[in-house]
């Protein structure tokens, strides 16, 4: 009697459809690792709750420095507080972002950018955004959202002035 694998075929087709629907996310998951500066790059789910803002699935792109000292107790986002969950140990910077399909292609919305207060001056924001832009070079648009820090505004202006790549949007706060 011939073997009927209808359910297995449906499962395989479902997995293929899922993979095709989320290439940028899966690309980011495949390309985590270390750079030549000793920093590790990881991407996964954000531990913060953004459900009231837009209800989209929010990812976190993190820069991990295994040699970084532990954060000071009570440091928002980096150490556990009563208000916010802690980032992964040794996180020195992160970008929380979401993607969505616009009429002209994939869009990336940056929800939050953070560099640990004791890690500033190491060009970590530049490195973090370089990683994000490298993963989404084919995006139609990257939206910086409301920019509340001078360093973020400078990165926005620099990337907006560069030629090629995604369209850049943002709002000065």
Q: CA 52 to CA 12: how far, in whole Å?
A: 34
Q: Cα angle vertex 143, ends 22, 123, to 5°?
A: 95
Assigned domain for 45 exists: yes
For residue 122, being part of any structural domain is answered with yes
* Number of folded domains that form the chain: 1
pLDDT tens digits, residue range 107-128?
A: 999 999 999 888 888 899 999 9
Residue 3 maps to a domain: no
SS3 111: strand
Query: Which residue segment(s) compose the domain that 106 sits in?
Result: 8-172
- Measured in degrees and rounded to the nearest 5, phi and psi for residue 58 equal -105, 130
Look at residues 155, 143, 148 and name the one whose alpha carbon lies nearest to residue 172: 148
pLDDT at 81: 81
pLDDT of residue 2: 47
pLDDT digits (tens, 9 = 90+) for 24-75: 443 443 344 555 578 999 999 999 888 876 678 999 999 999 999 888 887 8
Q: What are phi and psi of 92, to 5 degrees?
A: -110, -20
pTM: 0.76
CATH of the domain at 93: 3.40.630.30
Is the predicted pLDDT of residue 10 greater than 70, yes or no?
no
Distance CA(66)–CA(90), nearest Å, equals 6
Q: Is residue 72 part of a domain?
A: yes
Establish if 130 belongs to a structural domain.
yes
* Distance between CA atoms of residues 92 and 115, nearest Å: 6
């Amino acid at each position: 009697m011939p073997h009927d694998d209808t359910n297995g075929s449906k499962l395989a087709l479902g997995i293929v459809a899922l993979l095709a629907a989320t290439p940028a996310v899966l690309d980011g998951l495949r390309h985590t690792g270390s750079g030549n500066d000793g920093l590790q790059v990881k991407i996964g789910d954000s531990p913060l709750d953004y459900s009231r803002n837009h209800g989209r699935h929010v990812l976190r792109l993190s820069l991990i420095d295994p040699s970084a000292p532990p954060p000071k107790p009570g440091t928002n986002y980096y150490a556990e507080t009563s208000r916010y969950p802690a980032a992964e140990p040794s996180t020195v910077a992160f970008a929380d972002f979401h993607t969505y399909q616009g009429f002209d292609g994939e869009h990336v919305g940056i929800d939050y950018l953070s560099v640990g207060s004791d890690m500033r001056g190491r060009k970590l924001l530049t490195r973090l955004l370089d990683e994000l832009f490298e993963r989404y070079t084919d995006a139609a648009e990257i939206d910086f959202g409301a920019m509340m820090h001078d360093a973020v505004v400078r990165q926005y202006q620099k990337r907006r002035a560069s030629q090629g790549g995604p369209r850049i949007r943002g709002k000065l706060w």
